[in-house]
Structure 1
Amino acid sequence: MVTMPASAPSRRSVVAELEGALLRRADTFPYFMLVAFEASGLPRFAALLALWPLLRLLELAGRRGLALRAAAFVATAGVPRAEVEAVSRAVLPKFMADDVDPAAWAAFGACEGRRVVVTAMPRVMVERFAKEHLGAHDVVGCDLEYSRLRRSTGLLRGGGGEAVADRVRALFAGAERPDLGIGRSEMARSFLPFCKEQLRPPFTTADDTASAPPFRPVIFHDGRLVCRPTAFMSVVILLWLPLGVLVAFVRIAVGLMVPIWTIPHIAPIFGGAVIMHGRAPPPVGDADGASPSGVLFVCTHRTLMDPVVLATVLGRRVAAVTYSISRLSEVLSPIPTVRLTRDRDVDAARMRAELARGDVAVCPEGTTCREPFLLRFSALFAELSDRIVPVAMNYRVGLFHPTTARGWKAMDPIFFFMNPRPVYEVTFLNQLPAEATCAAGKSAVDVANYVQRILAATLGFECTSLTRKDKYRVLAGNDGIVVNAAKPAAAGKTAWQSRIKEVLGFLLH
């Protein structure tokens, strides 16, 4: 066991191995499984899983490098470069962040100078996480080769102990040697002697390393898999998928046929649960003779199902304000939907008209967020009504994420119901007092920020100023703006083919 020395904050440079040092686990197999599933689909996912026994034998025989190259070939051969980069940007960082060793990060993060991360995986799979979340300046590793058609050949260039050592020395050419080296594998032994001081796991954190900056969390991530796809969990996923699809369609069919108020009561029969906290407000009547107006439910946005679950708990009609959901989701929705246009005046008029008919559910974040953070609230809702009821929505799933930025959103409810035990929690807060609304002279922004704070406090989340645009720039490389313009026939055909691929759950990749 190695204890961090007291002089850690004075170090200026560090070279650290990623697998098995900065990350607790040295196994790279789950990351290649993620690339196979998210970039190509089930056939490649299953093929790589079938290869796992051979890969494991190679590792036990001391041929870890060959095993890694074989896994990289099966996972990426023929995959477009853009897909590999998208998965590396949007999917892998979350799984890597969950595996960071706090003590290793304390030593690495306390170094104020040049930070270098050494990895056995292709650099494209690691660079986003290393630079954005670990604060690395350079990443040393092998490179994935591409054809002239910008598709991966599955072959790796570089890597290996001597090549890594040469690259590390080249980075520090003309300067002092790295002050600290962190590593554990055979590859790490090639560069650790070049460092002035060496640390090997297991680590313990000394008090003086508290000066390390906090680890930057992964707020936005994409992909359908919730759990880390180890060999065992990958077998579980493949075995569950056929049954999960059947269960999902049964749950959806039953939900469309029964009265909406019965769903929370029958959900446990089908393996789910809807948990309610707080007291749901009664419908607003017009006994006072005034013009009737519905309640405006302001919800945190976790999945596409938020307003539907809210309506089941209330047991009455609630219109959902939507922006980018698919037409199929609108058709299947058991509650009315109001499609927004991102034109403030038009959207305000539509929401006021719907409030005149009854209750309305709105998610001011504008997009979902999987992590315990709330995005910035749009202030438009605060201008429309003084009957505002904040609702804290949250959910729990075990295998599949029911949200996506890059995929087809019509699959979201299907993936939600494919989970063995999908659980939703709905917490009603008290209606905002009159003095906390715009009617008392508060600005719409102040009201929106106040609602965001009380909802975050209820859920134990953290408020942020991030927006839909920030999310889509990270995950999809665009601003998340939906263009409804008509497409040419040829383009429409391509889009339709891509939709078929999504509906079949990656089977046609």
Structure 2
Amino acid sequence: MNKLGMGSVVAQVEGILVRDPDPFPYFMLIAFEASGPIRFALLLLFWPVIRLLDLLGMQDFGFRLTVFIAVAGIRISDIEYVGRAVLPKFYMDDMNMDAWRIFNQYGKRVVVTKSPRLMVERFVKEHLGAEEVIGSELDTNRFGFATGLVRNVGSISYRVSKLFGNEKPSLGLGSSMGSNGTTFLSHCEEKCHPPFVHKPLEEYDRSNLPIPVIFHDGRLIKLPKPVTALLILLWFPIGMLLAIIRIVSFIMLPMSALKYGVKIMGLRMIVKGEPTSPPPSSSTSVLFVCNHRTLFDPVFVASILNRRRIAAVTYSLSSICEAFAPIPTIRLSRIRNTDEEKIKRELAKGDLIICPEGTTCREPFLLRFSSLFAELTDQIVPVAINYKAPLFYATTARGWKALDPVFFAMNPTSVYEFTFLDKLPIETTCFHGKTSIHVANYVQRLLAATLKFGCTNFTRKDKYRLLAGNDGTVATNVDKCPT
């Protein structure tokens, strides 16, 4: 019997750590996110052929055909990015928690996969704590492009045997189904197959869950299994046309009508609480402090208020989006003194909307709030924002950010929820002796509690560094907010 943190385990990804035994949808993601809709459609077109080859017992040939169509001619750096920034979210959503609880009991963790190593490495190392990944290897040419072929690096069974040498892994987690990647079980002292009745469930540490995926990129919200992928492709030309009509109509609407014109965008807007703003005769401006979900957050907050001049602070809005924004935007330089003066000038003119996270976060977490806003006024109204859409993400960290409004408008429907909280009591602000960091953390916790989100210490810089692969772990900053 294994003691916690002792021994070694080798686990299969497909069908074991991840419930779906078919890696095809993940290759669809590679095709869409690293290449585009044309390759996405081409791979889906070949799916019946690939499926037929599987049924005829030619799984290896079908797998190689899948790899070739999905990656041939794509830069290996683009494939790496998708494996690092896009796929982990979908793997996590399909995690087999029973297999994870067993896998997590062992000190040395190794995973095997028939997919290219680049596709699963980030997920299993950063979120599951695996030490080694044994998978197929993509062939590349001297210009850094994938040829679409798989290099011969030996069978998975041989590589597991070579990795452990004279020792045997304590446990092998694998399926008895399939011809690729399961023979490694013969090298393990103990074998465990689904449904993983390995120990009573109550004996596992329920608090010790996989490290959550907080940052991810890509445009697709749903895992593109064949039927879902077909629906996405059928909707794509309709959605593009609809997006153009919606965006043009939205731009032409006067600000006073935006609140009523959101249905043009296929949007259901839910407003909770009492939007607070001083009357037009008041000389005191209000700073609305929001968490950040999409680039449209300030626009819709302004449309709900619709009482006086209101502007929005921006960090990295594209020039095209800025040019067509229906409300004034103030681009910050990230130089504290300069930005402080800019915000003070705007507050002197009227109300202001700011998202102190500095970037969007898709998962139910809030990034660390910049404390600058807390130093500028005692008139602070927190606004909790949530957004849900069925097909496409409206923001991206990489690629054509100018297309963000297009993908936002391509969704058939979506739901935006705004909760206006009470203005902060004067005694909780900097003007009553609190530090700006204390106020920023207080507002972060207040919004997180309203949304039932988690707090993190991550900043905008952390987000882009992690997505770029320049940091080794996400464990230390999850669910931590300094007091």
TM-score (norm 1): 0.89
Partner in structure 2 of residue 506 of structure 1: none
Aligned residue for 2:152?
Answer: 158
Aligned equivalents of 2:414 and 2:317: distance in 1?
A: 21
SS at structure 1 position matched to 2:216:
coil
Superposed, which structure 2 residues align to 1:234-253 within 5 Å?
A: 234-253=229-248
Name the CA distance, whole Å, in 1 between partners of 2:313 and 2:279. 19
Structure 2 vs 1, CA of residues 439 and 285 (structure 1 numbering), >3 Å: closer, same or farther?
farther
Counterpart of 1:293 in structure 2 is: 284
Q: Could you tell me how far 1:310 is from its partner in structure 2?
A: 0.5
Name whichever of 8-17 and 335-344 sits farther off: 8-17
Q: Secondary structure at the match of 1:445?
A: helix
1:121 corresponds to which residue?
115
Identity %: 53
CA contact (8 A) 2:2 2:106 kept: no
**Which of 198, 202, 205 lines up with 2:195 in the alignment?**
202
Contact 1:261–1:313, Cα closer than 8 Å, also in 2:
no
- Aligned equivalents of 1:318, 1:211: Cα separation in 2: 47
1:363 aligns with 2:355: yes
CA distance in 1, matches of 2:92, 2:124: 10
| Counterpart mapping for 1:207-356 below 5 A | 207-210=202-205, 213-268=208-263, 271-286=266-281, 292-316=283-307, 317-356=309-348
Question: CA contact under 8 A between 2:250 and 2:264: conserved in structure 1?
Answer: no
Contact 1:106 1:212 in 2 (8 A): no
**Residue of structure 2 equivalent to 1:487:** none
Matched, 1:66 2:70: no
Q: Residue 264 of structure 1 contacts residue 273 of structure 1 at CA under 8 Å; is this kept in 2?
A: no
**Residues 278 and 429 of structure 1 are in contact (CA less than 8 Å); yes or no, is this contact kept in structure 2?**
yes
Encode CA deviations 1:51-106: one digit per residue, 9 max, x unaligned. 00000101111222211111110111111111111111111111111111000000
CA drift at 1:266: 3.6
Are the equivalent residues in 2 in contact too, given 1:8–1:107 (CA < 8 A)? no
Q: How far off its partner does 1:213 sit?
A: 2.9
Output the aligned Cα RMSD. 1.7
Q: Does 1:420 align with 2:415?
A: no
What is the alpha-carbon distance in structure 1 between the residues aligned to residue 414 and residue 43 of structure 2?
28
Query: Residue 464 of structure 2 is aligned with which of 463, 472, 477?
Result: 472
SS at 1:370's partner residue? coil
Give the residue type in structure 1 aligned to 2:451.
Answer: L
For structure 1, the 5+ residue unaligned runs are 1-5, 480-509
The question of whether the paired residues in 2 share the 8 Å contact of 1:24 and 1:100 is answered with yes
1:435 match: secondary structure? helix
Amino acid at match of 2:306: G
Measure how far apart 1:210 and its partner are.
2.4
Aligned residues of 2:125 and 2:131 also touching (Cα < 8 A): yes
Distance 1:188 1:196 in 2: 17
Give the whole-Å Cα distance in 2 for the aligned partners of 1:357 and 1:260: 18
Instruction: Quote the Cα distance in structure 1 between the aligned partners of 2:378 and 2:340.
Output: 14
The 5 A counterparts of 1:491-502 are none
How does 1:368-379 map onto structure 2 within 5 Å? 368-379=360-371
8 Å CA contact 2:265–2:409 kept in 1: the answer is no
Number of residue-to-residue matches in the alignment: 466
Look up the SS of the partner of 1:346 in the other structure. helix
Q: Is the 8 A contact 1:90 1:475 kept in 2?
A: yes
Q: CA deviation at 1:286?
A: 4.1
Matched residue, 1:37: 32
Cα offset, 1:187, TM superposition: 3.1
Conservation of the 8 A alpha-carbon contact between 1:9 and 1:211? no
Seen in structure 2, the aligned counterparts of structure 1 residues 71 and 297 have a Cα distance that, compared at 3 Å, is same
| Distance verdict in 2 for CA 1:151–1:249, change over 3 Å | same
Distance across 2 between alignment mates of 1:356 and 1:211: 52
Q: Find the counterpart in structure 2 of residue 486 from structure 1.
A: none
Report the alpha carbon displacement of residue 277 of structure 1 after superposing the two structures with TM: 0.5
Whether the 8 Å CA contact 2:114–2:181 is kept in 1: the answer is: no
1:202 is paired with a residue whose SS is coil
Task: Please state how far the C-alpha of 1:144 moved relative to its aligned partner.
Answer: 0.2
CA 1:448 to 1:168, structure 2 compared with 1: closer, same or farther past 3 Å?
Answer: same
**CA deviation profile, 1:311-368 (whole Å, cap 9, x unmatched):** 1111243211011111100111000000100111110111111011111000101111
Partner of 1:170: 162
3-state DSSP of counterpart to 2:106: coil
Residue number among 147, 150, 172 corresponding to 1:181 in the alignment? 172
* Deviations 1:269-295, CA, capped at 9 Å, x for gaps: 6532111010001334445xxxx2311
Q: How far apart in 2 are the matches of 1:324 and 1:182?
A: 45
Contact 1:110 1:212 in 2 (8 A): no
Distance (Å, rounded) in 1 between the aligned partners of 2:158 and 2:137? 15
Query: How far 1:141 sits from its partner (Å)?
Result: 1.2
**Structure 1 residues 10-159: aligned runs within 5 Å:** 11-112=6-107, 114-158=108-152
Tell me the CA shift for residue 158 of structure 1. 3.3
**Structure 2: distance between partners of 1:88 and 1:371:** 18
On the 8 A contact 2:253/2:261 being kept in 1, the answer is: no
Give the letter for the 1:294 counterpart. Answer: S
Tell me if structure 2 keeps the 8 A contact 1:165–1:190: yes
Counterpart of 2:141, as a letter, is S
The equivalent of 1:499 in structure 2 is none
CA distance in 2, matches of 1:31, 1:25: 10
The residue identity in structure 2 corresponding to 1:141 is G
